Amino acid sequence: MSDVHGEAAAAGGNERPRWVAAGALALGAMALLAIRLDRPGFFDNEGRYAEVAREMLLRGDLVTPEIDFTLFLNKPPLTYWLAAGAFALLGTNEWARLVTVLVAGATIVLTCRLGARLFSETTGLLAGFVLATMLGFVLEARTLRPDMAIVCSVVGALWCWVRAESTLRAARRSLWLGGMYAALGLGVMAKGLVPVALALVPIGLCTLRDYGPAGLGRLRPLLGLLVLGSVVLPWHVAVALRHPGFAWDFIVNQHLLFFLDRKFPRDSEGDALLAFWLVFVARASPWVVLLPLVGGEGWRGRRPRCSSPAERASFLCWAWLGGVLGLFSLAPSRLEHYSLPALPAAALLGSRALVRLATEDRSATAWRWLAMLGGLLVAAGAGGAAVGKELLFRSYWIAQVPAFGDLALPAAAIVFASGLGLVLAAMHRRAAAVAASLSAMALLLAAVVVTAMILAEPLFSWKPAGILIRDRVPAEVEVVFESPEEYQLVGGLVFYAGRRITLLELPGFIPPTYLEPHVDGMFLSRAEFVRRWTSGERLVLVSDPQRRRESPEAIVPPPHEVLGRFGDRWVLATFALGAAS
C-alpha cells in the first residue's frame, strides 16, 4: 500500500484543517449521541461493567475486578477503569456511558482520516458521517461495554498501518507500526486478543498481495511483541500472580474454548449463523445497500501491483469486513454484536460508493439496484403501516410494553418516505438525493430505535427492581437472586439495589479455574433456601430474568408476596412490605 491513494497522502504538509473537520463532525455526532444518555437504566450486559467499576472505587483496588464482591476475572479491565473514572467525576449513574460516546467520537475521527488516506478527503468525511448514522453504531455508542473500544482499536491500528505504508523513512515507519501495536494493545485491554486477529486479517492479506510471504517481516513482529507486551502484560501478570488459575482461564478458557463454544461456565449461547449475518445488515443499515456498488472494485484490487490505488484501498476494506464476518462465522460461540468492528469498513465502502455515484458515469445496473431497493422499502413501509403494530405484538416480550405499538406507524412512515425518495433519486440518477434519502432514514430511525431502548427498560434493566429493593426492602432482609449460569447477570441488580445479593445455587455449575477456591461461599443451596423461605424468615427472591414464568407459584413455594414484576423479573418476598417496615 506504499502508493496509497488520497488527497491527504498526495498533498502531505499540514493536515490540521482536515483533522479539525473530522473533529467537528465527531463533536456533532457525540452531542446527538449523548441526548438523554441517562435513559434507560443500565441493561444487563452493561450492569456487570458498571458494578465492577463501582466496587473498584469502593474497595480502592483497580487491579482486581469483583462483582457482587466476589472475584470476577472474565474480562480485561479497560472498560472498568473508564467507567470508574466517569463515576468519580460524574457520580455513580448512567452518565458513565459518556466514556463510550467519547470512544465512538475517536472512532469517527479515525475513520475520517483513514478514508482520506485511502480514497480522498471527501470520502473520508463522508465515511465518518455514514458510520455515525449507522443504527448499530448509534446503539453501541450509547452502551457501556467494551465493544466500541474494540472497534476503535481496529480502526486505529489500520490507520497507523496505512500511515506506515505511505512513508519511506525507516524510523518513521517504525513509529507508525509501534502506534499500530499500541492501538491493538488497548483493544486487548478492553476485551482480550480479538482485535489483534481482526486487524491482522486485512493487513496480512494486503501485505501478502503486495510482497508475498517474505513481506510479513515488514510488520516488524518483534516490535509488535515488545509494544503489545508493554501495554498488556503489567495488569495480566499482576493478576496472574495474585490469583492462581487466571492465566489458564484467560488464555485457554476465555479464548480458545470460547471460540469453539466449549467454555465453562456455559454462560452464553451462540447465535445462529443466519441471524448473525442478518443482524449485521440491520446494524449497518441503511448504508449497507450501497456496498454492492463497489464490490467489483474491491475484487479487482486483489491483484498484486496491477490495480489502481482506489481498487487496492477497496480491497483492504472488503478484506477487513470479510475478515470480521468470516472469523466469527467460523465460531459457534458468535454473538450478534461481534460484527461491530466491520461497521467502519462498511462505512468506508458506502461512502466510496456515494462518491463514485456522484463523480463517475455509473452503469444503469447501479441505478436499477437502488431503484429496486427503494421499491422494497416502499412496500415494507406500506406493509408496516398496515399490520406492523399487530406483528409487533405477536412477540411475547414486545407485548409486555404496549407503548412499543406507538412506534410502529412512525417507523413505517420513515421507511416508506425514504424508499420513495430513493426510487426518485435513482430514476433521476441524482447521487446527492440518494445520500439525502438514506441520511434522513438513518437519523429518523435512530431516534425511533433509541426511544424503543428507553421503553424497554423494564424488560432488560435491573433498575426498576433494584430501586424497589433499595428504597423499600429493609437493609437487614437478605435478598436472593435466582441466577442463571451467567451468574454475573446479578451485576445490575447489585448496582441499583446498593447491597450485596445472595446467589441461589446453580445445579452443575462449573466455575472458571480462578474462582474454584471461592465457590463454597458464593451460593445458597436450594434446600437451605426452601427451608428458610417456608420457615417464616423474612427473605426476598429475585427471579431469573431469562426464564418465563407467568405466576409466582412456578418460582417459589408458599407463602409469598409479589413486591413487583418487571417483564420476567419477579421480586417476591415472604412478607408484605408493610410488615417489614
Q: What is the DSSP track for 217-281?
A: GGG-HHHHHHHHHHHHHHHHHHHHHHSTTHHHIIIIIIIIIHHTT--SS----PPPHHHHHHHHH
| 433 and 503 housed in the same domain | no
Which of 402, 424, 455 represents a domain boundary (last residue)? 455
Q: Is residue 547 part of a domain?
A: yes
Range of the domain at 217: 7-38+93-268
- Residues 416, 99: Cα–Cα separation, whole Å: 35
Q: Is residue 70 part of a domain?
A: no
Q: Residue 520's pLDDT is what?
A: 82
pLDDT at 1 exceeding the cut of 60: no
pLDDT at 22 exceeding the cut of 50: yes
Q: Is 152 exposed, middle or buried (0-12, 13-18, 19+ CB in 10 A)?
A: buried
- The cell numbers describing 282, all together, are 440491520
Q: Is residue 108 part of a domain?
A: yes
Q: Residue 2's pLDDT is what?
A: 44
* Of 156 and 364, more confident: 156
pLDDT at 201 exceeding the cut of 50: yes
Q: Residue 9's pLDDT is what?
A: 43
| 472 and 406 housed in the same domain | no
Q: Residue 580's pLDDT is what?
A: 44
pLDDT at 5 exceeding the cut of 60: no
pLDDT at 398 exceeding the cut of 60: yes
Computed over every residue of the chain, the mean pLDDT equals: 92
Q: Is residue 338 part of a domain?
A: no
User: How does residue 525 score in pLDDT terms, banded at 50, 70 and 90?
Assistant: very high
CB 179 within 8 A of CB 159: no
Q: Residue 362's pLDDT is what?
A: 72
| 441 and 511 housed in the same domain | no
What's the average model confidence in pLDDT over 352-380?
92
Q: Is residue 166 part of a domain?
A: yes
Give the strand pairing for 523-524 and 502-504: parallel
| 381 and 485 housed in the same domain | no
CB 117 within 8 A of CB 6: yes
What's the average model confidence in pLDDT over 541-546?
95
| 227 and 257 housed in the same domain | yes
Q: Is residue 484 part of a domain?
A: yes
| 411 and 555 housed in the same domain | no
CB 510 within 8 A of CB 263: no
Q: Residue 17's pLDDT is what?
A: 77
User: How does residue 421 score in pLDDT terms, banded at 50, 70 and 90?
Assistant: very high
- The cell numbers describing 495, all together, are 448496582
CB 530 within 8 A of CB 541: no
The answer to which of 69-83, 106-120, 346-360, 382-396 has the lowest mean pLDDT is 382-396
- Residues 27, 122: Cα–Cα separation, whole Å: 18
Q: How distant, in Å, are the alpha carbons of 118, 125, 149, 464, 565 from that of 23?
A: 19, 10, 18, 38, 45
Q: Is residue 279 part of a domain?
A: no
Q: Residue 91's pLDDT is what?
A: 96
| 446 and 516 housed in the same domain | no
* Contacts for 25 with CB less than 8 Å, ≥ 6 apart: 108, 109, 112, 125, 128, 129, 132
Q: Residue 306's pLDDT is what?
A: 66
CB 410 within 8 A of CB 445: no
pLDDT at 554 exceeding the cut of 70: yes
How many angstroms from the chain centroid is the CA of residue 574?
40
Q: Residue 11's pLDDT is what?
A: 40
Alpha-helix residue ranges (DSSP H) falling in 269-427: 273-283, 295-300, 309-329, 343-359, 364-392, 396-399, 408-427
CB 566 within 8 A of CB 556: no
pLDDT at 8 exceeding the cut of 90: no
Q: How distant, in Å, are the alpha carbons of 81, 91, 163, 220, 221 from that of 227?
A: 21, 34, 18, 11, 10
DSSP state of 501: -
Q: Is residue 318 part of a domain?
A: no
- Work out the percent of the chain whose per-residue pLDDT is above 70: 96
Which of 210, 238, 268 represents a domain boundary (last residue)? 268
DSSP state of 557: P
| 405 and 371 housed in the same domain | yes
Which of 210, 236, 268 represents a domain boundary (last residue)? 268
What's the average model confidence in pLDDT over 129-156?
98
Q: Name the residue among 413, 448, 435, 526 with its Cα closest to residue 480.
A: 526
Alpha-helix residue ranges (DSSP H) falling in 192-220: 194-211
CB 53 within 8 A of CB 67: no
**Per-residue model confidence as pLDDT tens digits over 32-47:** 999 999 999 999 999 9
What's the average model confidence in pLDDT over 342-370?
92
**Per-residue model confidence as pLDDT tens digits over 446-467:** 999 999 999 999 999 999 999 9
What's the average model confidence in pLDDT over 245-263?
80
* Of 510 and 298, more confident: 298
| 467 and 392 housed in the same domain | no
- Residues 189, 46: Cα–Cα separation, whole Å: 17
- Residues 293, 478: Cα–Cα separation, whole Å: 60
* Of 145 and 251, more confident: 145
| 238 and 376 housed in the same domain | no
CB 521 within 8 A of CB 499: no
| 447 and 476 housed in the same domain | no
Q: Residue 287's pLDDT is what?
A: 97
- Residues 298, 293: Cα–Cα separation, whole Å: 10
Phi-psi label, residue 536: left if phi above 0, alpha if psi -120 to 50, beta otherwise: left
Q: Residue 516's pLDDT is what?
A: 87
Whether omega before 40 lies within 30 degrees of 0, making that bond cis, reads: yes
- Residues 543, 555: Cα–Cα separation, whole Å: 7
What's the average model confidence in pLDDT over 107-133?
97
| 32 and 133 housed in the same domain | yes
Q: Name the residue among 95, 99, 104 with its Cα closest to residue 29.
A: 104
User: How does residue 4 score in pLDDT terms, banded at 50, 70 and 90?
Assistant: very low
- The cell numbers describing 204, all together, are 496480512
**Per-residue model confidence as pLDDT tens digits over 146-177:** 999 999 999 999 999 999 999 888 899 999 99
Domain count for the chain, please give it.
Answer: 3
Q: Residue 7's pLDDT is what?
A: 38
Total residue length of the chain: 581
